[in-house]
Structure formats: C-alpha cells, structure tokens
Structure 1
Amino acid sequence: MQIEQAAAWIRQADGLLLTAGAGMGIDSGLPDFRGPGGFWGVYPALGRARIAFEAIANPAAFERNPALAWGFYGHRLALYRQTKPHAGFAMLLALAEKLEHGAFVFTSNVDGHFKKAGFPAERVCEVHGSISHLQCAAACSEEIWPADSFQPEVDSENCLLIGDPPLCRRCGQLARPNILMFNDWQWLERRSALQRQNLQRWLATVDRLVTLEIGAGTQVPSVRNFSERQPGRLIRLNPNEPEIAHRPDALALPLGALKGIEQLYQAFA
C-alpha cells in the first residue's frame, strides 16, 4: 500500500522537507481562490466589479485604489489571524521530532500558519513572502517590518478598508504587504532570501532526505517545481493533481492535506 510505503520512507529519512501550497490551508477553513467556488465566490464585491485575482493581487491596485487593495489584503490578514491551523500541522511536528535533523518548511503560503502551529521561524521559508510583514509600497528602502500593530477593519460587503491603511515607517507613504504579487517589481525579497539561505544550510546537513509535498497545484507551480528538484524521495499529497513524472523514488497520493497527513501519521506510528 502506498501510504505504508510513504511512512516507511519517512522512517528511513534523517530529514523531512515539507513543501506546501494553498491546499495545505483548506482543511483549516481557508479559501482556495482556484477551487470550485473561485475567487469571486470568496470576494463577491470584486466579482460584481469584474476585478480578477491577478488585478487585485497586484502592486498597481495599491496605486489605483488603496482602500480596495487593503480591503482585500486586510480581510485576508484578519482571517489568517483568526483561523486555527488544522490538526495535521501538529502531526507533522510530531513526525519531525522523530528524525535526526527534524523538518524544514518551504511554502508559497503567506498565512504564517506553520509558525502559528509551532514550527520554529528559523525552519520556515516563505518563498512568496508573508502577509504578517509590511514594506513601503514605493520601496523607499529595504526595510521590512511586522504588521502586528495594524488591526484592519474591513467592509466585507464592498471589500473596502475602513479607517487608515498602514504607512511606511520611513517615508510616511502607503505601506503594502511584503508579498510577491503579480507584475511585482517592487517586492522586497530580502526576508525570504535569508530564509532560503537557512534552508540551504539545513539541506547540506541531511543525507537521507524525504520531501513531503502537500496541496501544491500546477497553476503557480513554484512549490511543485522546487519539490521535484530536490534529491532523495518525494511524496506528493494532492487530491486533484497528484501526478508525478515517472521516477522510482516518488509516490503520488490523491489525498487532501489533513486526510493524507493523518494516514501517514497513523502508518508511521
């Protein structure tokens, strides 16, 4: 059985690389903009205005309509803060504790839920940035700072920020999330680049690597491509796109995040 084989691979590993896409958060109750309901199903006000995900998740949106752009990102920030990571995160932590070099996370998710669930900050690489950090919208400097003091209040019906948006601590102009957006030439990648350096140092210590990829799709294939470039064995959990090009050291499991992790955890014990 493939689950038993996957669990055996993890038992034989000395390090577990967890690579995760948007599918990791679905079982926590977070929306998947590319799922059955679609982006406009989650943000009907943007649907009524025919504003696509690629248009609002874009630096130009902060120039055109800061209240609308921060309505979208402010709603997401509040949602991620309020949502509890599902039980699969704790199971992954428990698996990591059994391996010599533990686990490292590589994720395109900006929700911060791996750290919220207890993964050490120095063992997480957020390749697309973090909604919990801010930068100047004009990139007046290289400064990136926590968004802790910003408590967005959003008119959800109209997807508009109520009140003042966050401002740059250096120049006083509009701030934006430190997230890589579409057509984004001003994203400050220094924080993510340092995380990636931590990841490379960790990988250099691991001899028997297993990569466990969870909920990473093909539309924005950053995570899938990264997973497939790693040495060692690859386990892919994806209910809709589990396929892997034929290789003897890979397993494709058509399972969602929580269900797949639960089955792996039970088989590992």
Structure 2
Amino acid sequence: MSADYRRCAELIRAADGLLITAGAGIGVDSGLPDFRGPQGFWGAYPALGRARIAFEQIANPAAFKARPRLAWGFYGHRLNLYRRTVPHAGFAILREIGESLPRGAFVFTSNVDGHFEKAGFAAERIAECHGSIHFLQCLDGCHQGIWPADDFQPALDEEQCLLTSEFPLCPRCHGIARPNILMFGDWGWLAERSDAQEARLHAWRRQVDRLLVIEVGAGTNIPTARLMGERMNGPLIRINPTQAQVADDKNVAVAAGALAALRSIAASLV
C-alpha cells in the first residue's frame, strides 16, 4: 500500500463528514464518453463531427431554437445513455465511506447524469450545480416550472443524431421543452432546483466539524466542482489521472482513474 493511500485512510478516519465533489471524469469507468477536446466529442457523436458542430454549439439553447431535432438528438441520446448505464463500483465505495462517518456525506457534482442518486445516494444529499438531464423546463420560458423527464422516451436516428419521436412539450404552452441543464450561452436556465440543493449542502456543512473533501474526476476546463472543494478549507483528496496537483501537503494527490483509486482507498481502510 502506498503512503498516499495510507494518508487517505488517516484523513477519512479523522473526519466526521464527507463532501464528494465530482466532475465528468468519475463517469469514464462506467463507460460514459469523455468529451475532452473536439476529437473526443466528435468521436462520440460522428454526425456532429461531420457537420463540424462543437460541443459548445450543440449544448446551447440556441441549438434548440435553430435545429431542435438535432439538439434533442444529442440530448435524447445522452438521456438514453445515462438511463441504461450502471454506475461503477466506486460510487458504492464513496457511499460506504460516507455512511461510516457521523455526519454522513453530501455530493456536489457538475454532472447532469443522475448517477449518484442511481448509485444509492439520497436525493436530499446531492447538489447538481449544472442541473439534471432527468428534468425539463419550457424552452420559451412561459413559466418557472421544472418537471421530471420520466415520461419522455426519445427515439433517435443515431447515425444522423436526430430525434425521430415527438418532442417533449411544456404542459402550459405546449411548446418544446428543453433539459433543465445549464448550457453554454444560457440565460434561460431555471436554477431553482439546483439552488435549493445547494442551500441544503450549506446547511449540512454547518453541522460538520471535521470535513473531508474527496474530489473525483473534476478537471480545470469546467472547474465548478474543483473550486467548490477548494473553498471548503478542509483536507482534500484529489483523484484525477492527469490533473491531480494539490496546493499543499495537508492534501493528497492521487494520479489515477476513479475506480482504481477508490478501490485502493477502500483497501487501505480494511
């Protein structure tokens, strides 16, 4: 066992509450695509690659206005993918670590896939700072409602990245609905659900005396989750195969993928 993993075990045993901060990298071991760089994105969505449409252009409310079948082709594919993908065993390891501490765990994630709840974390202990693909809102903003996407079952032409079934519709104006996700260039995102989650996070934080942050797969390109953990001023375990640097020696840098690192941490606690 390496000294880094022994130090992780010491930090866990000294904590009374665990904040898990997570970015897209945590999902790679579940088989989710890595969108880093245009080639990674276009490899996952070749139709968008052929059209030279970047992630920032399709993950944008303007795309739902200009090319709604293409925009929902992209997000419909992601919704189906997230629904059928099983979160890897590292999620269960994090849940078990949290359950071993007096104040439990809270999750703060920039991911929109809903996989922490799918892996058994309580919904009231999850903050999704960029929203969730499993919820919808009106594209035209006719009202402030947010509702579950459970009834929407997108059918797709995956070769063309197009929605072939009916659009999800706003229950009030019957116009097209969009995901309740913060996109690029997005002034219409309804943040009420995410704001309430974050308020619960800060209420929980006030009850924790000896906080530990475990950050998993949170990079610097979209640094929201990374910055949240750093602002907490407690010890930090940073798990990242390529961006694991930490500011000082009270923290631990683990340069590994999520699942391998979490399995090694679990072994260090036995």
Structure 1 unaligned runs (5+)? none
Query: Quick one: distance in 2 between partners of 1:78 and 1:155?
Result: 13
Cα distance, 1:20 vs. partner? Answer: 0.2
Distance (Å, rounded) in 2 between the aligned partners of 1:40 and 1:129:
24
For 1:76-120, what per-residue CA distance to the aligned partner results, in whole angstroms no more than 9, with x for missing partners? 000000000001111111111110011000000000000000000
Matched residues, percent identical?
Answer: 59
Q: Does the aligned pair in 1 maintain the 2:213–2:235 contact within 8 Å? A: yes
State the match for 2:231 in structure 1: 229
Moved over 6 A (4+): none
Q: Tell me, in whole angstroms, the C-alpha distance in 1 between the residues paired with 2:261 and 2:80.
A: 28
CA deviations on 1:210-244 (whole Å, 9 max, x unpaired) are 00000001111111111111121111000011112
Q: Residue in 2 aligned with 1:29?
A: 31
Write the distance in 2 (CA, Å) between the matches of 1:165 and 1:127: 25
Name the SS of the counterpart of 2:72 in structure 1.
helix
Q: How big is each residue's C-alpha offset from its partner over 1:180-207, in whole Å with a ceiling of 9 and x where there is no partner?
A: 0000000000000000000000000000
Deviations 1:9-36 (A, max 9, x none): 0111000000000001000000111169
Give matches, 1:1-269, under 5 Å.
Answer: 1-34=3-36, 38-245=40-247, 247-269=248-270
Superposition TM-score, scaled by structure 1 size: 0.98
Tell me if the contact between 2:167 and 2:177 (Cα under 8 Å) persists in the aligned partners: yes
| TM-score between both structures, scaled by the size of structure 2 | 0.98
Q: Distance in 1 between matches of 2:187 and 2:131?
A: 14
Give the Cα–Cα distance (whole angstroms) in 2 for the partners of residues 36 and 88 of structure 1: 28
Equivalenced residue count is: 268
SS in 2 for 1:25: helix
